[in-house]
Amino acid sequence: MIKFTLAGAAVFAVALGAYAVIRFPEQATPVQETTAPAQGAPMVAVTLPEALSAEATMGKRAFDAVCADCHGENAAGKMGFAPPLIHKIYEPSHHGDMAFQMAAANGVRAHHWKFGDMPPQPEVTRADVISITAYIREVQRANGIN
Ligand code: HEC
């Protein structure tokens, strides 16, 4: 009787193990923590243009001071914060220059991504945003987005 129970328990344990492997494959093969993108990491690889126009150079300065905290260095996006603006979604025909003025003045209700809303950016003037947009467009073009 004891032997029978032990054998039964062994069969049960093996079956349970097999079930766990089939049912929870991601737990059966432990995932390396390091493969998950870190918070704050850039989201896309950005190719920089050889040179920026004077307007875009001013724009980069303003972008770095106000927008890069969320959108990342070179607008490459920042995991956990905000999307890359060097992205096909933000090409001029989908998000015209006016979208940049609206975003800075009114903020953005989250709709394309899951980062939450973008708050309005009262530190920048309309002229700043014209320069920032020129900067983003020049970097977009260097990455085949136009
Ligand atoms: C506090 C973080 C934060 C800051 C600072 C910030 N943004 Fe954003 N921005 C976001 C997020 C998040 C989104 C994405 C919203 C969504 O899900 O579509 C976004 C979206 C945008 C969009 C897309 C608008 C649209 O119509 O979809 C533009 C353009 C933009 N930001 C420009 C800027 C500029 C220019 C600055 C600096 C003046 C800036 N952002 C600063 C968080 C930020």
**Taking CB atoms and a 6 Å cutoff, what residues make up the pocket around ligand 1?**
66-67, 69-71, 81-83, 95, 99-100, 103-104, 108, 110-113, 115-116, 118-119, 121, 124, 132
| Side chain identity at residue 119, one-letter code | P
For residues 70 and 118, is the Cβ–Cβ distance under 8 A?
A: yes
Those residues with Cβ within 8 angstroms of residue 41's Cβ, 6 or more apart along the chain or in another chain: 78, 79
- How far apart, in whole angstroms, are the C-alpha atoms of residue 143 and residue 86? 8
**Confidence at 142, pLDDT banded by 50, 70, 90:** very high
pLDDT tens digits for range 20-78: 555 655 555 555 555 667 899 999 999 999 999 999 999 999 999 999 999 999 999 99
pLDDT at 22: 55
- Digit-coded pLDDT (tens) for 96-136: 999 999 999 999 999 999 999 999 999 999 999 999 999 99
Q: Which residue carries 């106000």 as its tokens? A: 66
